Structure 1
């Protein structure tokens, strides 16, 4: 049994592990004692299950931010696990689930009601049962550790946006600052416990790793771990509890501890050196990793509390977009080094070979005249 993704409860000593060969979800306590498994008798994945991309096959599970409650999407609907047992949630089938930071609202994508599905998401107010339609998102929705906003992806083959949204009731309002990255195929963002960084793993062409400071969105790390034919896990990163520390699990059975401030890295070998297939940070700050067929826990100091001031700073500079206007006309995009407004991109006609492919493509599109009359001129 290989675990390819670990998802820790943000405040309680629970961790969920997703098997790589079938849609089975294991749940362990803070001592890594096995509590239960959902879908242990499920049929193995086939090559037709969302194509060959394993990142799109495993269920997009979600922990409630305060309660011992895990939601698991299945083709037949959403399953709910609590320490007292397993039950079925009302509602339809979804690929990805997430809670708002206060735990009141469930975010689900794609929409079970909207058409086309991936252009919209569902927003469910759990206490009242009221529902609303939210913007489209994919590949998981992640609350900021200090609350107030969530981060998620809007993926496209040419470029992917890391977008931020402010949830309120049955509304999910996108904010006007976003990060743009090349191509698609990224996994969900991972925030540091103090909320001052987030990391992004991807993509469909290389095993890339990018880390951004928050709230500035300045990119502080960009590297390629390996080619796609190399056996790197897609879920092999976790932030440490010390500020600016990032851990990276390798296919050769080591952990790399990387200091974002100094750029220095230290390699930590593991006993028997099995490949690291998943890595995450538990609520008490401990690192939990899947390697081979075993789970291991590495102790760290307790996680620091995230400062709500960083979220307030971001909100002050990123007002919500207007829902009745074109999103592309309202977003201010950054790649972590340069920033573009809608007018900047509309006027762009030149790009170098060193620029990202999405920017080169945008410049090429802008060079094409809009009509035959323009071409004649």
Structure 2
């Protein structure tokens, strides 16, 4: 069983086994890849032969051994036109260094699964009609080589913790020796300890009457935990502005190679801003509820995943249906503050499982060589 250490605790619930499952999937993919490579090897045709065939096979091996195929795939994924041209130049230099004089070539590297052409290169455009007439079938060869590519990728995480610090967070749930804000802060700090400072960033937004960005996205986790420790509960519940603050922070400091996530905790009802209600009203305000729905929809449209946590023994004290509606990756119910640490650890594990992925392809190198008599 796979576990994950967070804040000194060893976590062993089922979500923590995600990496084991993905590793098993990778093994299955690899076995399938070997089978498919064998299959492609049997159906691909070699036209021509002799010395040029031997040269073609040697070139394909050099391309594979020098890691050029993985470089090509990475460049295509990044959609970097300049890097693609640089790679084509590198491939051209390699071919010309390996080929005999007056040898013409056409090479393509493509996906055997999707058919996508990753890169093509040729010098046959320079062949004139006279030279073409001098080429015989014995002096032209086309060879295709299947290469199985399995890439293990680890993504970065950018997570913003949104914590309710309204006045009700100063209360204790039945049976809890400490206040809800105390347990919320301890659980949030445990979550931060689960992250990888060399790769991940964490930010903090808190809210009551107004929301504040207490700490922007950073890998200085001690700073984040100090900001969490400094939270003081008072006031009403402005959920919408809290999500807006998170959206603004992601927009200002976005990393295109990171998974973006919000972990949202509240024990109350959306009641601020509420321009049409008396100031003392604590119940749900339609305007405030609409605000949070609009902001979470913006977050979702930008690819931000959202976890929500409802805190309180009496589920009528917070809008459980709202929390279920705005989440994308899970709603969690904490009947008491003591349950928060376990919930934050579970969410941390779920996020960490998303950072690991396996990409698989069968890449076909098709190489045509020709030379005059």
If asked which structure has higher relative contact order (CA below 8 Å, sep 6+), I would say 2
TM-score normalized by the length of structure 2: 0.24
Higher helix share: 2
TM-score normalized by the length of structure 1: 0.24
Higher strand share: 1
Which of the pair has more CA radius of gyration? 2
